[in-house]
Amino acid sequence: MKKVFFGILALTLIFGMAVVGCDDGSTDNGGSQNLPAASGVNAVSGKTYFEWNEKIVFFATADSAANGTYTKGRVEVHNGNDVLDNNGKYKYIDIETGTYTWNETAKTVTMKPEKVALNSEDGYGALGNQTAYRASIQAMLDKRKAEMGEAAFNAMANEQLAAMGFSSIAAYINYAVDEAFSNKTNGYSFSADGTALFLEHALPANKGTNQFSGQTYYGITWVGSGDDEKSVKDETQKYVFTASGYTFTDTRYLQMPYTVTGAYAYDSNRKQVWLRPEIINEKDRQAIYTGETAWSDHKFADDNACRASRTNGQFRYLTEQYNSTNKTIGWEN
């Protein structure tokens, strides 16, 4: 039950932080943030960003527009199978809608979520505003309390929330709502042939004490099954940190060596670390896209969308819990 309860907390944060925001989580600040003024030519107008099974459509704007609108979608799944349209291509369901502005000089686009898919243990729900999103998290926790009993629920909640640096369930919910609705600023660029849009997510500000610089951490592996399943340190997944960067090596599959270097940020109070890959096996995003080939049986609109999805997916922004005592990175039980 401990792992299941913790999974609900992880679920709400993952839903809200697919593209991370930078609020402190104290109040519902996300929805009240103003977008920065648009500046210069809108290079992302009418473009679509693909990342694994998600996409972001930046709808076209007029030359004089103060901002634009965007929709973030995810491949629709029914009974474990991808849903396809009449042309045999992926169908997407909306998981976020909002407005955006751009800065041509800085090469950034800032997105302001207005509606986000509500939390559900079964997957993404209908779109809702901050009030509805907050209620969906509370409903999930209330359901678990009814299943576990109030005493057991409170004991487990206190333990898990303390491990994540939250003083109460209310503080946790505030944080999750803010993360889901805070502005997201992304650097943008395009592939050399102009067919793919790349986004690089800005790191949040560091908070607390840097417990990574000069340190080595390891990944997590789950062993056992059912109630006996537990997390253990996995030294085949190794993170070596400098003052601002990291190198990750994965030797689990010796025939497929895997090395990533990138930048990171941290919140030592909440024991969270944000990892942004920048070089994978000595190749940047441009080089990987150039060498990428589309799957022969893919269901994307075209081959370039498939290539962009695979490329951007490899550079996906990661949000992880960490344990500075055990020197591990990952969600533990």
Helix axes 169-181, 2-16, angle to 10 degrees: 30
- CATH 2.40.128 in the chain is located at 204-329
Task: Name the residue with tokens 């929805």.
Answer: 31
Q: Which residues of the chain have pLDDT under 50?
A: 1-6, 14-30
Spatial distance between the Cα atoms of 121 and 105, rounded to a whole number of angstroms: 42
Per-residue pLDDT at 32: 62
What's the pLDDT at 160?
81
State the pLDDT at residue 208.
Answer: 96
User: What is the rounded CA–CA span in Å between residue 23 and residue 162?
Assistant: 20
What is the pLDDT, as a whole number, of residue 283?
Answer: 96
Pick the CATH number of 204-329 from 3.30.1120, 1.10.10, 2.40.128, 3.30.70: 2.40.128
Q: Can you give the pTM of this predicted structure?
A: 0.89
Please give the pLDDT value at position 253.
78
Structural tokens at position 272: 């969270």
